[in-house]
Amino acid sequence: MLTDPVAEFLRHLSDERQLSPRTVAAYRKDLEDLQEFLADYHGGSEWRWEDVDRLTLRGFMGALQRKGLSRRTAARKLSASRTLFRFLHREGSLPANPARALRSPRVDRTLPGHVSRDGVEAVFASAEARAAEGELKGTRALVILELLYGSGLRLSELHDLEMGRVDLVGEQLRVRGKGRKERVVPMTQSASLAIRRYEPRRREALARRGQGPSGRTREEPLLVNARGGRLSRRSIQGAVREHLDRVASGEGLSSHALRHSFATHLLDSGADLTAVKELLGHVSLSTTRIYTHTSKERLKAVYREAHPRGATPESGE
């Protein structure tokens, strides 16, 4: 059971910071783990948030490690705890912030998976052929691929996108990113054409639900299922995997791979890092820099394959 300070903190995240329900639920789970540890740490006796100090939180980190959790998971749980204590200190509930000087476990940053340019061409050739059949599933799948790769949207942003936020004339989208922050993102001409081809099938699905033209287009989801309801995240992922598996079978690429490909291909072509950051909706430039590492690795591979002296000498020669 959550204590009153944690419940108040979660209300702050939901109502004031307007974080998504999924994000608030993740905070809730991480802070429940913290409270469970604190109860065990104090031997089941009564404890107060004022009693928590840096040593106690280091014990929490140790407990997470003993559970065999990954560094990334442990770092996330510690980040949730740090945000809680910062909130309690700012609100005057604590005289000091015990987590202020606490370091998170170092997390190795892995290079994101992405699709090659040739792979992207193959994916869209397949999707175009399916869309040409004129059915809801095929035309919708092409829209999904065009917006994930052409505009670099997150899965959650595409899932939440409403028709009223799609400007087909200006070829741009208004999307809500993390923290409910809104940004304007350009879309390709091919994405605009794909949406126009999909729109009649979308209206048919809405009509089956009894929602024909209502003058409330702005509130209607862009992506709908055959019954006229909002298409689920799982169904979006399924549509993406169906097409990606044809060019990268067994690699387990997901919708996020198309967002990674969007950024990587822009940077490979000389796009400015700051501009890519804005397109992706990143808060920090350091988050965007991981894509430069991807590009550098690909440049090294090209160098090793193409330059006469770029290959690693065989041992013993």
Which positions are annotated as active-site residues?
154, 178, 256, 259, 282, 291
In whole angstroms, give the CA distance from residue 132 to residue 138: 8
Q: Which two tokens stand for residue 283?
A: 């808060």
167's tokens: 């400007």
Nearest to 160 by CA among 241, 109, 249, 222: 222
Q: Locate tokens 């501009």: which residue? A: 275
Residues 6+ apart with CB under 8 A from 194: 131, 139, 142, 143, 146
Task: Tell me the CA distances in angstroms from 59 to 40, 78, 143, 228, one per residue in order.
Answer: 11, 11, 49, 51
Please tell me the distance from the alpha carbon of residue 218 to that of residue 195, in angstroms, as a whole number. Answer: 15
Residue type, 159: H
Classify residue 171 by burial, with Cβ atoms within 10 Å: 0-12, 13-18, 19+: middle
What is the Cα 80 distance to its own chain's centre? 18
Closest CA to 148 of 250, 246, 263, 230: 263
The structure tokens 């004031």 sit at 16
Which residues make beta-bridge pairs with 72? none
> How many CA atoms, within 13 angstroms, populate the side-chain half-sphere of residue 264?
23
Contacts of 108 (CB under 8 A, 6+ apart): 71
**181 φ/ψ angles, rounded to the nearest 5 degrees:** -75, 135
| Cα gap 191→162, rounded to integer Å | 15
